Amino acid sequence: MDPQELGITQEELARKVGMSRQVLINLEKGKIGSIRFIKLWGLLRELGYDFCVIKWNPFKRQELECEE
């Protein structure tokens, strides 16, 4: 989801999650080396997404799904 779809600017979104607008721009462009998990999680939640943790076996083919 794009910040504009939420009716907010990049500046407002960046401020809500505690990062600079430039960091947000670099993240969108894939030009950021690392970001703290809590910042990324906050950003995703503001955009309407969330994380899910599942147990995964790399040697067994399986569908990866999160439960609600």
CATH class of the domain defined by 1-68? mainly alpha
User: Can you say how many angstroms the Cα of residue 18 is from the centroid of all Cα atoms in its chain?
Assistant: 13
First to last CA, the chain: 20
Q: What DSSP assignment string belongs to 15-54?
A: HHHT--HHHHHHHHTT--S---HHHHHHHHHHTT------
The one-digit pLDDT tens for each residue of the chain (68 residues) are 566 777 888 899 999 999 999 999 998 898 988 888 889 899 999 988 888 887 777 888 777 777 76
pTM, full prediction? 0.68
Residue 43 in contact with residue 57, Cβ under 8 Å?
no
Report pLDDT for 11: 92
- Side-chain-side CA neighbours of 52 within 13 Å: the count stands at 9
